[in-house]
Structure 1
Amino acid sequence: MTLPLVPPMLATPGSLPSPAQDARWAYETKQDGQRVMVYLPGDGTVLLRARSGEDITGAYPELGALGGILGGTPAVLDGEVLALDEQGRADFQLLQGRMGLAHSPATAARRAARVPVHLVLFDVPYLAEPLLSVPYARRRTRLEDLGLTGAYWSTPAAVVGHGAEALRATREHGLEGLVCKKLDSVYEPGVRSRSWIKIRNVRSEDVIVGGWLPGKGRLAGLPGAVLVGRRDGGRLRYAGRVGTGWDEAERAGLAALLRAAASEDCPFDPAPRIPDARWVLPRLVGEVGFSTRTRAGLLRQPTWLRLRPDLTPEESSAGLPEDGD
């Protein structure tokens, strides 16, 4: 059968619900991977779509067995693809080596043998019929009743109430954060909803790279810092320079991407006065950690966390005023 296209529902950055509201929310661990919608038409096949809607099925051959997991029952599942480190924690840098291979099946198979992925499932907006208007608590029960646990996928538990304790546990275990979901919330395809709230343990933001500064000494020929910005009313506003957070290999890889995107024009509006700046086309998205913002909107004490090849500048949250994504 032909399943309906369901863009993923998105969470809004925020804080824990008040103690008085705590029992009306469920809490899930925030995962550090690639968001994916899983389409199971019930004929033994599986289709994976990224947040952008792109077909990424070929990048993850180890998930092909999902096609027959529910027999003839058609379903759309919402989840996240992870690559796990030796401690069993999500490592986005490991996952980057698995992304972008949807049209390179031989390479995808080789990398799957070395770095297998794991799919965590947390919602089911369609199961034999649309469940978009069904409250989260009931959708979650329907999902858990499917018993989707295997070598390459699982359905981690959600905790109802006890939000402060859940957030503290993610911090103690070095996890990315928490997602709070209102028990009576419907599934809103493609909407960044306040019925889902995400809390990151690292204050961070997606930014767009618009330029770089040449390094000195041992960093000659490499970027000493990148110049980043965020969308604001259709313009790319300068947000500061980031000069830490890379190892040698990452800095060299970034240098190649910056050279390929070289431009004579400054993409920031208004253009900052930065001597020796090298400008690039604003097509690279990265995530940075920072302590706070100045009144002018510049990031204070920023450090590079990761490149985001899964996001385009249009898809990034770089224009959002909230912290994190």
Structure 2
Amino acid sequence: MSLRAGDARQAIAPMLCAVGGELPEGDDWTFEPKYDGIRVIAYATPGQVLLLTRNGNDKSRQFPELVEALMALSKRRERPLVLDGEVVALDAGEIARFGQLQSRMHVTDSARIRTHAGQESAAFIAFDLLLHGDTSLLNESWVKRRALLEKVMGDADAAGVLRLAETDADGQAMIERAREAGWEGTIAKRITAPYRPGRRSSDWLKLKLENTQEFVVGGWTEPRRSRKHLGALLLGYYAADGKLDYAGHTGTGFDRAGLADMERRLRRLGRKTSPFRTEPKTNEAAHWVTPKVVVQVRFNEWTRNGTLRQPVFIGVREDKDAKA
């Protein structure tokens, strides 16, 4: 199996979820937690690992402990493996929120990477097996892929660096667990379905419990008083006609390092005109940017005039494409 990033991206793109409403009923569904991390396709051989995001960015350098564990797994199984899963942050061994990955996912300095790996734990949660040696499993049902995944993972890592995604045929029980644990939601999967690379399929349904969404940054405002770097992000989303509609602004959820990092990202993308369909009115001077930065935002609800109520910045989504 080639581990050149370009070849790997062309081979398998991640299957995507459709947005679900009601909990699907019937014996042909299973339910998993919606993990709050970085979705990656892991390409593993005994000597090399790629962790490719939806955009084709390789995150293996940022998570050396996961690379080591996946190489060891491939070596034990004596074959290359391709796994679909999520890189998540850990807090005292428990799965944490996406924001706790922020300090690790963009670091490129080797010394800092080692420091973060030693101080801020992460894990890879596998929820699908796409290639087992030379055998493609894409056309097999979820049931068959899951059974083989469980055999492959086994007791993959006693320290919890590699984990197997939970699954439950009782959707209501999984929903209740999600509410108790504070998860973002659950994923419903049709157990007879094949893996559909790069396609958004109703065989996988995203059932969200809280309002979180990715938005594109179209600009930022000047900070007030003693605040540094920037005041608020000006958020948008692409409508069906390809135009960027304004969704609101948020300046909460940042720490000092996050504000500085965001300012650096946005200044590189500066432009003279607003990228939004209709230029929003702002209380402070606005700086416009080419809309390439994607951020995850938590909010209370959509208002009647189509903007967000009480939006809070969670983190930058380098793994998401601005126009996806």
TM-score normalised by structure 1 residue count: 0.86
Instruction: Pick from 224, 227, 247 the counterpart of residue 231 of structure 2.
Output: 224
Cα distance in 2 for partners of 1:59, 1:73 equals: 24
Match of 1:91 in 2: 97
Secondary structure of the 1:310 match is coil
1:125 corresponds to 2:134:
no
Instruction: Pick from 245, 262, 278 the counterpart of residue 237 of structure 1.
Output: 245
Match of 1:48 in 2: 51
Indicate conservation of the 8 Å contact 1:239/1:297, yes or no: yes
Q: 1:308 to 1:40 in 2, by over 3 A?
A: closer
Cα distance in 2 for partners of 1:223, 1:104 equals: 26
Secondary structure of the 1:179 match is strand
* RMSD of aligned Cα (Å): 2.4
Cα distance in 2 for partners of 1:2, 1:305 equals: 35
1:289 corresponds to 2:298:
yes
Instruction: Pick from 69, 74, 93 the counterpart of residue 65 of structure 1.
Output: 69
Q: What is the letter of the counterpart of residue 167 of structure 2? A: A
Indicate conservation of the 8 Å contact 2:99/2:314, yes or no: no
Indicate conservation of the 8 Å contact 1:38/1:79, yes or no: yes
Q: 1:107 to 1:171 in 2, by over 3 A?
A: same
Instruction: Pick from 238, 246, 254 the counterpart of residue 254 of structure 2.
Output: 246
Instruction: Pick from 1, 12, 17 the counterpart of residue 6 of structure 1.
Output: 12
Indicate conservation of the 8 Å contact 1:179/1:196, yes or no: yes
Once the two structures are TM-superposed, the CA of residue 258 in structure 1 deviates from its matched residue by: 3.5
Q: What is the letter of the counterpart of residue 114 of structure 1? A: Q
Once the two structures are TM-superposed, the CA of residue 184 in structure 1 deviates from its matched residue by: 0.8
Deviation readout 1:31-86 (Å, 9 max, x if unpaired): 11111111234x54333222222333222211223224243223211111111123
Deviates more, 1:299-308 or 1:29-38: 299-308
Cα distance in 1 for partners of 2:93, 2:149 equals: 27
Once the two structures are TM-superposed, the CA of residue 252 in structure 1 deviates from its matched residue by: 4.2
Indicate conservation of the 8 Å contact 1:137/1:184, yes or no: yes
Cα distance in 2 for partners of 1:189, 1:242 equals: 34
Secondary structure of the 2:156 match is coil
Cα distance in 1 for partners of 2:95, 2:121 equals: 13
Cα distance in 2 for partners of 1:245, 1:31 equals: 20
Cα distance in 2 for partners of 1:91, 1:143 equals: 25
Deviates more, 1:163-172 or 1:236-245: 236-245
1:35 corresponds to 2:42:
no
Q: 1:257 to 1:68 in 2, by over 3 A?
A: closer
Once the two structures are TM-superposed, the CA of residue 226 in structure 1 deviates from its matched residue by: 1.9
Indicate conservation of the 8 Å contact 2:39/2:319, yes or no: no
Secondary structure of the 2:213 match is strand
Aligned length: 309
Indicate conservation of the 8 Å contact 1:31/1:90, yes or no: no
Secondary structure of the 1:97 match is helix
Once the two structures are TM-superposed, the CA of residue 92 in structure 1 deviates from its matched residue by: 2.0
Cα distance in 1 for partners of 2:245, 2:235 equals: 8
Once the two structures are TM-superposed, the CA of residue 96 in structure 1 deviates from its matched residue by: 1.9
Match of 1:186 in 2: 194
Cα distance in 1 for partners of 2:48, 2:265 equals: 36
Indicate conservation of the 8 Å contact 1:45/1:68, yes or no: no
Match of 2:179 in 1: 171
Q: 1:52 to 1:148 in 2, by over 3 A?
A: farther
Match of 2:167 in 1: 158
Instruction: Pick from 113, 121, 142 the counterpart of residue 116 of structure 1.
Output: 121
Match of 1:299 in 2: 308
Q: 1:55 to 1:302 in 2, by over 3 A?
A: closer
Once the two structures are TM-superposed, the CA of residue 204 in structure 1 deviates from its matched residue by: 1.8
Indicate conservation of the 8 Å contact 2:296/2:317, yes or no: yes
Cα distance in 2 for partners of 1:217, 1:104 equals: 34
Once the two structures are TM-superposed, the CA of residue 282 in structure 1 deviates from its matched residue by: 1.6
* Paired-residue identity, %: 35
